[in-house]
Amino acid sequence: MTSTPRLDSLAAGGTNKVPDGIRLADGHMLTLNVAPGGATAEVFLFPGLDAPGTEAWENEDQWEVWLTGGEFGDGSLYLDVPIEAVRDLIVQHGGEHENQEAPYAPEKPETAEAIASRALTERGITAHRDDDAGNTWLVIGHNQTRKGFPRMLAEPYVVLYLYSNADDEEITVDRAPATGDEWTVLAGDGTGAERELITRPADQFADCVEAIVAWLAAPQVTPSRTE
């Protein structure tokens, strides 16, 4: 069973009414404010760390700024969270990080661009970033021997991005994937026409990589006209 020595220490000795932090093994971060030997705590989850949808986490406080004056973003504050529920959350994220020396400097989760670029590079595929009107995406030309940005009006290509309509419609590779996001891959034929190649939930990016690899291996009809 994954141990939680820092949580155990904070819960036993308390935090003296000052929130103290715990870095998780996957780079996420939480803080808790707990009395010595307390069975519950105030728990602040930094951006990117979601609370489980259980009764233990139902008492969310709506303070917009807490702990650091917004230094680390909005985050979420939960009141009266059982220590055992905090422990379960830590275990779900791989336990506590081995380095707790700088608990208020959590590792920033990788952006979709970083995740995708690394996975594609491992397969020998080059992707190029593009953006317009606040949206961002990656473009992969079918001709991988050609240097530079793909000629999207002269040759086949695919476009890759995260899609979310949770609040406002969002097309991006600038942030980390989140629950509810979908990886979307569109295939363009070089004439301006695009079709959906594959769509997968945020945790199934490997399927998108395989779809792109298969698309690159298949012959494509390149338009006869040039830019």
- Interval 152-170: pLDDT, tens: 999 999 999 999 997 789 9
Residue 66 pLDDT more than 50?
no
Amino acid type, 122: E
Closest CA to 186 of 147, 145, 157: 157
Say what the pLDDT of residue 39 is. 96
Query: Are residues 64 and 144 both part of a single domain?
Result: no
The bridge status of strand 182-188 relative to strand 157-164 is: antiparallel
Mean pLDDT, all residues of the chain: 88
67 vs 78, more confident: 78
Residue 131: pLDDT above 90? yes
Total structural domains within the chain: 2
Quick one: pLDDT band at residue 90, thresholds 50, 70, 90? very high
Same domain, 122 and 77: no
Ranking 67-71, 96-100, 206-210, 220-224 by mean pLDDT, the lowest is: 67-71
Whole-model pTM: value is 0.56
pLDDT of amino acid 67: 39
Q: Are residues 183 and 212 in the same domain?
A: yes
63: tokens are 């303070």
Percent of the chain scoring above 70 in pLDDT: 88
- Residues 14, 86: one domain? yes
Residues 116 and 190 reside in one and the same domain = yes
Residue 29: inside a domain: yes
pLDDT score of 225: 55
154 and 185: one domain? yes
Characterize 188-216 residue by residue with b for buried, 16 or more Cβ atoms within 10 angstroms of its Cβ, and e for exposed.
bbbeeeeeebbebebeebeebbebbeebb
Output the pLDDT for position 76. 87
For residue 102, tell me if it sits in a domain.
no
Mean pLDDT of 103-118: 77
Q: Which domain holds residue 163?
A: 112-217
| The pLDDT of residue 107 is above 90 | no
Residue 225 counted as domain residue: no
Contact status, residue 181 vs residue 214, Cβ threshold 8 Å:
no
Structure tokens at 190: 């070089």
Q: Does residue 103 carry a pLDDT above 60?
A: no
Residue 135 has pLDDT above 60, yes or no: yes
Evaluate whether residue 97 is within a structural domain.
no
Are 68 and 58 a contacting pair, CB within 8 Å? no
Residue 64 has pLDDT above 50, yes or no: no
